[in-house]
Structure 1
């Protein structure tokens, strides 16, 4: 299947394609190789339930826990098989014109284009700050990431909300929202009639292989999103994981992890600056956008040195002189920067 837009951009190229087995992985924004021990134990304890179909009671319990986590009502929660499933549902909103804020995660645009929904790209110039006035007045659906992948920009909530209009639905992808200490610009706790907030649990909790997420929003919009959805859309382990990751102890754990990410990111930025590698900033997400000359060649040379980074020419609005790197601990970060020094020399 051809996954390219008419301008040749591959909308379905994601970091997992760059992260070849055996390479030091800076291409995928997942923390660690698997969930923390406490979460792994929780999921292991749920294995005996796999002989039964997922129950309505388990689904409600997970929704209730997510609702409690964000100060919402359970009817404002729709559980997802990974945040990306929420993007696949967007065509059900029957938009007449969808505005996609770029550079950003390309899966929403792919899903909308596949459903023949007219798409308008709002491409932000560096330093990629949000301009609500750039959105066409005719757009009845607006999609953006916050913090944004791959720029690592965190938009002020006031600027995001400034895009609201009569007859328009605003979709905010907060897949990395829990990786920002205190979640200062999040809309997850705001009950608004025209705003949908997507959350992923696969990044911070290292559950990429289990596919866990949810969307928060008014019940009428959530009902439209799931028209025609299959029965039992999530398995028992997914329901248990969503519930576990939304409990107070897990939220506190994620906050500590977010603070660790912030420290590691600051250290990486300092190392990269010393190596003469420009970093788009201020970065607030668990990844950094780097500007390097001839990024494709740099990426291939890093791969030869055993390091995977994310190519960025597949993001609308970015030229071929960018790569994205995940925030990692001190030792792998030093390995990356040393390799970059050698490659750029």
Structure 2
């Protein structure tokens, strides 16, 4: 039941590469390095409990941003991480199948909820589950499952009294036509959306579950009246309303992802897939590249169970781009 290692740990990076120059260039997460602009919070965001009207405002704005059928189809929470086991508890303990390989926390959350958990590499195999879990776009490789296939599976799960959970943590930079957020009222379906990744504000801890109204009410009752903190409410309301920033940021991330692909290619590393927030590579020397860049203070995401795979996020500044390029220039000769 223990949490597995994930990207973004500078403490672990220092333990692995104690002689690396600092600050580290942390490319081990899929978090946007260009965060939504910080602003001064009203004092009441910290000194008072959140008002019901402000919570309702966030629900309405988030429903519009994600395409939910109505604000009653969305529940806010302090991050999707805390939502995972609670969503898994919506289905009676049984057989949970997670479409993998993917983010490890989904399997752990299903075990916490009492399910017997297996990883499935074939989408059609999910039909045999009592609880099916799909990350779309997938982390770490960006694999996409078509909306029509997800909806057919959700209907199948509903008919047998189960649930399909679709984690759309990176759908902010994915193809919007493949999102199933707008289908939340159909039943048999729970959609998770993450705020912190696209907006680059992971520390705010804000996420959402979208489902049919009765399921959302059940989740919300379990969280109590103040599930979302005052600061998270303020950032969620402002950032999710800012469609201009979102549009411009999607264009920027797409361009920077192409720049990263080109940089890796110039140094004989082929990017196979990913999303605009992270790029995915598979090749026999992945471990050597990870170590070479790590010793130069550049942290990628390496996978113990897939030693041939790497994931790279985007540099956040021109200085970070220069450091990455310099480290890549010498990686072939490193051990």
TM-score range, shorter chain: 0.7 to 0.9
Give 2:36's aligned residue. 36
Cα deviation digits, residues 225-277 of structure 1 (max 9, x gap): 34543552221111222222221xx1331122112111111122122223221
Displacement after TM superposition at 1:207 (Å): 1.1
2:97 is the alignment partner of 1:99: yes
* Runs of 4 or more consecutive aligned structure 1 residues displaced over 4 Å after TM superposition: 18-21
Residues 69-84 of structure 1 correspond to what in structure 2 (within 5 A)? Answer: 69=65, 70-84=67-81
**How many residue pairs end up in the alignment?**
316
Give 1:138's aligned residue. 128
Task: Note the residue ranges of structure 1 that are not aligned, 5 or more in a row.
Answer: 4-10, 124-130
From 137, 152, 155, the equivalent of 2:142 is 152
Give 1:339's aligned residue. 327
Give 1:201's aligned residue. 195
Partner Cα distance (2:258, 2:74) in 1:
34
From 322, 338, 342, the equivalent of 2:309 is 322
Partner Cα distance (2:322, 2:137) in 1:
25
From 9, 12, 23, the equivalent of 1:17 is 9
Displacement after TM superposition at 1:148 (Å): 0.9
Indicate the SS of the match to 2:330.
helix
Partner Cα distance (2:295, 2:259) in 1:
25
Residues 44-83 of structure 1 correspond to what in structure 2 (within 5 A)? Answer: 44-69=40-65, 70-83=67-80
Indicate the SS of the match to 1:108.
helix
Say whether the 8 Å CA contact 2:289–2:331 is kept in structure 1.
Answer: yes
User: What is the root-mean-square deviation in Å for CA atoms of aligned residues?
Assistant: 2.4
Name the TM-score, length of structure 1 as normaliser: 0.83
Name the TM-score, length of structure 2 as normaliser: 0.85
Which stretch shifts more, 257-266 or 47-56? 47-56
Residues 201-220 of structure 1 correspond to what in structure 2 (within 5 A)? Answer: 201-220=195-214
Cα deviation digits, residues 131-151 of structure 1 (max 9, x gap): 43232x431211111111100
Cα deviation digits, residues 175-199 of structure 1 (max 9, x gap): 111123x623111222321221111
Indicate the SS of the match to 2:311.
strand
From 83, 86, 93, the equivalent of 2:83 is 86
From 277, 301, 304, the equivalent of 1:286 is 277
Indicate the SS of the match to 2:292.
helix
Give 2:116's aligned residue. 118
Partner Cα distance (1:142, 1:255) in 2:
32
Indicate the SS of the match to 1:62.
helix
Indicate the SS of the match to 2:198.
coil
Partner Cα distance (1:150, 1:333) in 2:
21
Distance 1:190 1:228, change over 3 A: closer
Give 2:19's aligned residue. none
